[in-house]
């Protein structure tokens, strides 16, 4: 495997993780930091300070993190001796986030570690806690001067969900900005850390063939699908208060639409890329509360038998209300009212317990103006499609018509495809690895800015309100293991057009997908 060693190393610092006894730290954060360590991308002087309510010693914390590294690092088979060397950089401090007085002790602890590790008073605070702590921690940090950058940087990483609706997101932005400057705040969306999501920019802006076609003159419509073949697992409690619209659309999927629809930035930097994304969000035509049913379909998975196994419905999942109306599936249509996209429908679909795990974008190009060949009139043959596969089997697929060999002129749809695995000697960093490194380097390009988060909520808010205020809007049941409610196809404008039904392999579609 070829690893891309960059010469730029972050400045010496301590990564302080609030919520260090949680799952995110164990599965994602510490394994990602370990992967950076192995690639020699951490600064010479560095430490992780884990904070949590659970009373455990440094050694116990290290032991648990080593277990996580062995399971979730990209380099699982690293010799224990090397893992132990990394574990020496991990420290734990028992801490009650809600107790204001504890922050004084935290400050002492942090400065003690800062002098033993020589980390120049540079601190990154990662909030891997429940969202109810997002206001409290920055407030108490700043109350103890731990936001002050006169002697070193102080950065704050906030996990999603960023707010519960527009009002709470605005409130949270304001509360954070009372204590930290916008430049110090890093709102993480792990989709932006995915290599294939970043590749959207390269595909669009480094290839002369795509950009001239990338507009209302040549594109008929655009589809974004993110399906999962698992249910809510042990996250029922969280998911009940969230649902698919908040969990996936407001952040990850609107972001994908933003990257597909944005204008070329003047230069590739944090300000310009993020400006262009915000402009897209601000141009999305609002869906009014009274028209939600025409633009949005919500569904919830019901019990079904898959391969002889009984799969419980959402309402029977742990932590879920037996009468729940929370959506585990959502499909919506919207328009971007600007010069490039006027009149082009965008469709987004996401759900749990669908047939397969896939995230992809499909660009449907307009058909030729006149059909010369009989078979050219079939629905699938008419639209050239560019499929941008985010995961799994990452790659690009172009579908177009070719002459079937033999007599006559029969057109057959064929594939031209590129799979990332073909670059097999290149190491693809995990999303958290990439994003953590960026924050360490002070690069916020791949993090959300406050105004973008609010613009995305502005679009989503009326839909949430309509669902809340109007219980007559249907929640359609769909059997676990199917592609959501039947009527989802009715959203798509155009003669007999349907969604693409993808498989886990990029080039297979409309065939049986394994659950
Ligand atoms: C998270 C959601 O943000 O993204 C989860 O909270 C979802 O519900 C996950 O499963 C999907 O991420 P990925 O990287 O597996 O597509």
Active site residues: 252
pLDDT at 378: 63
pLDDT at 5: 46
pLDDT at 381: 60
Which 3 state secondary structure label does DSSP give 13? strand
CB atoms < 10 A from the CB of 11, how many?
16
Q: How confident is the model at residue 505 (pLDDT cuts 50, 70, 90)?
A: confident
Mean of per-residue pLDDT scores for the chain: 92
Centroid of ligand 1 to alpha carbon of 418 (angstroms)? 25
Index of the ligand 1 atom closest to the CA of residue 391: 16
Angle at which helices 431-441 and 30-38 pack, to 10 degrees? 70
Residues 6+ apart with CB under 8 A from 219: 213, 344, 363, 364, 365, 366
Segment 379-394, tens digit of pLDDT:
556 889 999 999 888 8
Residues 6+ apart with CB under 8 A from 242: 161, 326
pLDDT at 375: 66
Query: Is residue 287 predicted with pLDDT exceeding 80?
Result: yes
- What are 453's two structure tokens? 């988060």
- Please tell me what DSSP assigns to residue 192: G
pLDDT at 2: 45
Segment 60-77, tens digit of pLDDT:
999 999 999 999 999 988
- Tell me how far apart the alpha carbons of residues 354 and 231 are, in angstroms, rounded to a whole number: 9
By most ligand atoms within 8 Å of CB, the mutation choice from 22, 32, 158, 190 for ligand 1 is 190
Average pLDDT value for residue range 148-152: 94
Query: Is residue 92 predicted with pLDDT exceeding 60?
Result: yes
Q: How confident is the model at residue 354 (pLDDT cuts 50, 70, 90)?
A: very high
Does residue 247's CB lie within 6 angstroms of at least one atom of ligand 1? yes
Index of the ligand 1 atom closest to the CA of residue 251: 3
Centroid of ligand 1 to alpha carbon of 169 (angstroms)? 20
Alpha-carbon separation of residue 358 from 1, 200, 484 (angstroms): 25, 16, 14
> What b/e readout covers 370-403, taking b as 16+ CB neighbours within 10 angstroms?
eeeeebbeeeebbbbbbbbbbbebbbbbebebee
- Closest CA relative to residue 37, chosen from 65, 72, 75: 75
Average pLDDT value for residue range 113-135: 95
Segment 203-250, tens digit of pLDDT:
999 999 999 999 999 999 999 999 999 999 888 888 998 999 999 999
Centroid of ligand 1 to alpha carbon of 439 (angstroms)? 21
- Tell me how far apart the alpha carbons of residues 438 and 192 are, in angstroms, rounded to a whole number: 11
Given a contact cutoff of 8 angstroms between Cβ atoms, the answer to whether 162 and 169 are in contact is yes
pLDDT at 426: 73
Angle at which helices 254-261 and 270-283 pack, to 10 degrees? 110
Given a contact cutoff of 8 angstroms between Cβ atoms, the answer to whether 447 and 274 are in contact is no
Percent of the chain clearing pLDDT 70 (strictly above) = 96
Residues 6+ apart with CB under 8 A from 124: 13, 14, 15, 16, 153, 154, 155, 156, 157, 439, 440
Average pLDDT value for residue range 118-130: 96
Atom 4 of ligand 1, nearest CA residue: 248
Index of the ligand 1 atom closest to the CA of residue 160: 3
Centroid of ligand 1 to alpha carbon of 226 (angstroms)? 9
Index of the ligand 1 atom closest to the CA of residue 230: 10
Centroid of ligand 1 to alpha carbon of 252 (angstroms)? 9
Domains annotated for the chain, with CATH where assigned, are 2-159 (3.40.50.720), 192-491 (3.30.360.10)
By most ligand atoms within 8 Å of CB, the mutation choice from 22, 196, 252 for ligand 1 is 252
pLDDT at 17: 98
Does residue 328's CB lie within 6 angstroms of at least one atom of ligand 1? no
Does residue 228's CB lie within 6 angstroms of at least one atom of ligand 1? yes
Average pLDDT value for residue range 73-101: 94
Percentages of the chain per state (helix, strand, coil), in multiples of 5? 40, 20, 40
Average pLDDT value for residue range 30-36: 97
Given a contact cutoff of 8 angstroms between Cβ atoms, the answer to whether 350 and 360 are in contact is no
Average pLDDT value for residue range 94-99: 92
By most ligand atoms within 8 Å of CB, the mutation choice from 228, 233, 238 for ligand 1 is 228
Count of positions (residues) in the chain: 515
Does residue 359's CB lie within 6 angstroms of at least one atom of ligand 1? yes
- Tell me how far apart the alpha carbons of residues 227 and 487 are, in angstroms, rounded to a whole number: 17
Average pLDDT value for residue range 179-191: 94
Centroid of ligand 1 to alpha carbon of 163 (angstroms)? 17
Query: Is residue 511 predicted with pLDDT exceeding 80?
Result: no
């Amino acid at each position: 495997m070829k690893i891309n060693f960059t010469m730029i190393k972050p400045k010496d610092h301590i990564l302080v993780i609030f919520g260090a006894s949680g799952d995110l730290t164990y599965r994602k954060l510490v394994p990602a930091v370990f992967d950076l360590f192995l690639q020699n991308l951490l600064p010479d002087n560095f430490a992780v300070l884990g904070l949590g309510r659970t009373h455990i010693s440094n050694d116990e914390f290290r032991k648990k993190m080593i277990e996580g590294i062995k399971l979730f690092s990209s380099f699982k088979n690293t010799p224990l001796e090397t893992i132990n060397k990394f574990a020496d950089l991990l420290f734990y401090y028992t801490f009650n986030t809600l107790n204001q007085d504890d922050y004084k002790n935290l400050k002492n602890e942090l400065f003690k570690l800062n002098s033993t590790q020589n980390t120049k008073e540079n601190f990154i605070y990662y909030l891997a806690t429940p969202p109810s702590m997002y206001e409290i921690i920055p407030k108490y940090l700043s109350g103890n001067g731990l936001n002050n950058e006169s002697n070193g940087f102080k950065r704050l990483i906030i996990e999603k969900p960023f707010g519960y609706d527009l009002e709470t997101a605005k409130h949270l932005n304001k509360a954070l900005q009372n204590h930290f400057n916008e430049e110090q705040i890093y709102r993480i969306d792990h989709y932006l850390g995915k290599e294939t999501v970043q590749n959207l920019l390269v595909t669009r802006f480094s290839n002369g063939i795509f950009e001239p076609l990338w507009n209302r003159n040549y594109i008929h419509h655009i589809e974004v699908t993110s399906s999962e073949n698992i249910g809510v697992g042990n996250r029922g409690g969280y998911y009940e208060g969230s649902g698919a619209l908040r969990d996936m659309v407001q952040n990850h999927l609107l972001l994908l639409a933003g990257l597909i629809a944005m204008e070329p930035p003047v230069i590739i930097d944090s300000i310009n890329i993020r400006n262009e994304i915000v402009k897209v969000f601000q141009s999305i035509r609002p869906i009014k509360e009274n028209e939600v049913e025409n633009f949005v379909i919500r569904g919830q998975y019901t019990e079904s038998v898959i391969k002889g196994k009984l799969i419980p419905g959402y309402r029977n999942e742990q932590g879920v209300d037996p009468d729940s109306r929370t959506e585990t599936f959502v499909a919506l249509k919207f328009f971007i009212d600007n010069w490039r996209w006027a009149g082009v429908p965008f469709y987004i679909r996401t759900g749990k317990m669908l047939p397969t795990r896939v995230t992809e974008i499909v660009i449907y190009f307009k058909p030729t103006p006149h059909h010369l060949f009989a078979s050219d009139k079939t629905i699938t043959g008419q639209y050239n499609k560019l499929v941008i596969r985010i995961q799994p089997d990452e790659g690009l697929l172009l579908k177009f018509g070719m002459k079937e060999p033999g007599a006559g002129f029969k057109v057959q749809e064929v594939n031209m495809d590129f799979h990332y695995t073909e670059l097999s000697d290149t190491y693809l960093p995990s999303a958290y690895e990439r994003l953590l490194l960026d924050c360490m380097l002070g690069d916020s390009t791949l993090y959300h800015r406050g105004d973008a988060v609010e613009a995305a909520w502005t679009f989503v808010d009326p839909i949430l309100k309509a669902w809340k205020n109007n219980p007559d809007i249907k929640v359609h049941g769909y059997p676990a293991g199917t592609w959501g409610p039947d009527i989802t196809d009715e959203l798509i404008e155009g003669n007999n057009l349907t969604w693409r039904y993808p498989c886990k392999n990029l080039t297979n579609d409309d065939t049986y997908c394994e659950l």
